[in-house]
């Protein structure tokens, strides 16, 4: 009988202990759910504030707010060209920079003819390092540069391990993806500080890919992220706005599209639509995808493992 009573007491003690643990886990679960709910609500609010409100309000006069001239590096790629055209449509004069002289000339004439603004172009190959900036310094010397779009970048044709990448390619990535943004900032910031106005946009395509063979590209993105944050702190008191723009997939309005998602314009906007939305985030958010559906995609990615994002991306985009 004593053995039965002891077992019964032990059972009651274990039951009480389990009940207490279950109560604790329930509280933890409730707090986690509340935290996630608040986080989702805040992300929804951020999307509305950034991507809906600017469309309702009157368009900002970018010339008055930042200055007469905009400089766009990587000007002939999809986003660079569309961003230059959008700024020109808002009345800014445009200086285009990239390494393809013929495309620069054609784009410069096309923008000037379409939007009635002054345009100029600078043929410069950032992969050459320091020598690429001599001609840029001469042109930008006395101009009222109000907006700088750092869009120059190179990507690997296929993923490679760091030891498989040719040495010339390693230096090209460093010179274009990292050094070009820093040097362009050094060239335009003194004038912006003197005028107490200006905007700098560093473009770094966003991705959740965890592919181990993109080491150097991933590192250059991380550098640009940190550089943009620190630059914002440094220049905030000078009236200069700094933004890190992290677009996802964008369609070239002049080219053909492939892949499942490319047939869904809400998720993969044309470069023209993307640039229109991205420009409206100037002065509002220091870090943004530039497009509402891209922001929603990134929010979803936070709930999905990186390897799954990579797998899904390969199926949808290729």
The mean pLDDT of 109-138, rounded to a whole number, is 93
Reported as type and span, the H/E element at residue 224 is helix 215-235
Contact in structure between 132 and 116 (CB atoms under 8 Å): no
Helices (H), 149-206: 167-173, 180-195
Q: Which residue has the higher pLDDT, 154 or 313?
A: 154
Q: Which tokens hold the place of 186?
A: 């050094």
For 131-171, write each residue's pLDDT tens digit: 899 999 999 988 899 999 999 988 766 666 777 777 888 88
Nearby residues of 296 by Cβ (< 8 Å), 6 or more positions away:
47
Q: Which residue has the higher pLDDT, 37 or 213?
A: 37
Reported as type and span, the H/E element at residue 149 is strand 145-150
DSSP strand pairing (240-245 vs 287-288): parallel
Strand order of the β-sheet with 93-98 is: 119-123, 93-98, 69-73, 145-150, 198-203, 240-245, 287-288
pLDDT at 234: 94
Radius of gyration of the chain (CA): 25
pLDDT at 298: 75
pLDDT of 1 over the 90 cut: no
Q: Ramachandran region of residue 239, left (φ > 0), alpha (ψ -120 to 50) or beta?
A: left
Alpha-carbon distance of 4 to 15, in angstroms, equals: 16
pLDDT at 154: 83
pLDDT of 8 over the 80 cut: no
Lowest mean pLDDT among 16-20, 217-221, 237-241: 16-20
pLDDT at 25: 63
Reported as type and span, the H/E element at residue 288 is strand 287-288
Residue bearing tokens 């965890």: 210
Alpha-carbon distance of 254 to 115, in angstroms, equals: 18
pLDDT at 255: 57
The band of 248, judged by pLDDT with boundaries at 50, 70 and 90, is confident
pLDDT at 215: 76
The band of 318, judged by pLDDT with boundaries at 50, 70 and 90, is very low
Q: Which residue has the higher pLDDT, 71 or 158?
A: 71
Calculate what percentage of the chain has a pLDDT beyond 90. Answer: 47
Alpha-carbon distance of 216 to 105, in angstroms, equals: 32
Q: Which residue has the higher pLDDT, 301 or 103?
A: 103
Alpha-carbon distance of 209 to 174, in angstroms, equals: 20
Strand partners, 241: 199
The mean pLDDT of 106-131, rounded to a whole number, is 94
For 24-70, write each residue's pLDDT tens digit: 566 666 666 766 666 656 555 555 555 555 555 556 899 999 999 99
Q: Which residue has the higher pLDDT, 21 or 289?
A: 289
pLDDT at 120: 94
Q: Which residue has the higher pLDDT, 39 or 180?
A: 180
The residue ranges of every structural domain in the chain are 47-317
Helices (H), 52-177: 53-56, 62-65, 78-89, 101-115, 134-140, 167-173
Nearby residues of 108 by Cβ (< 8 Å), 6 or more positions away:
94, 96, 119, 120, 121
pTM equals: 0.78
| Chosen CATH of 47-317 out of 3.40.50.720, 1.20.120.80, 3.30.70.140, 1.10.1740.10 | 3.40.50.720
């Amino acid at each position: 009988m004593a053995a039965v009573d002891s077992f019964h007491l032990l059972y009651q003690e274990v039951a009480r202990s389990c009940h207490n643990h279950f109560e604790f886990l329930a509280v933890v679960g409730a707090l986690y759910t509340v935290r996630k709910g608040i986080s989702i609500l805040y992300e929804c609010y951020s999307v509305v504030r950034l991507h809906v409100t600017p469309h309702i309000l009157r368009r900002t006069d970018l010339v008055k707010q930042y200055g007469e001239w905009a400089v766009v590096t990587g000007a002939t790629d999809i986003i660079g060209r569309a961003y230059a055209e959008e700024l020109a449509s808002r009345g800014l004069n445009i200086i285009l920079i990239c390494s393809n002289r013929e495309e620069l000339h054609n784009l410069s004439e096309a923008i000037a003819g379409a939007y009635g603004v002054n345009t100029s172009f600078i043929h410069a190959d950032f992969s050459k390092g320091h020598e690429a900036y001599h001609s840029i310094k001469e042109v930008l010397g006395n101009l009222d540069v109000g907006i700088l779009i750092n869009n120059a970048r190179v990507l690997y044709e296929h993923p490679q391990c760091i030891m498989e990448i040719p040495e010339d390619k390693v230096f090209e990535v460093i010179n274009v993806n990292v050094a070009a943004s820093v040097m362009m900032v050094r060239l335009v910031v003194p004038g912006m500080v003197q005028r107490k106005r200006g905007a700098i946009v560093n473009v770094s395509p966003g991705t959740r890919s965890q592919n181990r063979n993109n080491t150097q590209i991933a590192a250059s993105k991380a550098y640009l992220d940190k550089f943009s944050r620190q630059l914002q702190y440094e220049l905030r008191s000078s009236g200069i706005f700094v933004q890190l723009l992290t677009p996802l997939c964008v369609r070239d309005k002049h080219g053909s599209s492939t892949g499942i998602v490319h047939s869904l314009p809400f998720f993969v906007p044309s470069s023209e639509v993307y640039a229109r939305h991205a420009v409206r985030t100037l002065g509002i958010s220091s870090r943004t995808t530039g497009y509402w559906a891209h922001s929603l995609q990134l929010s979803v990615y936070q709930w999905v493992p990186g390897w799954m994002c990579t797998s899904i991306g390969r199926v949808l985009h290729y």
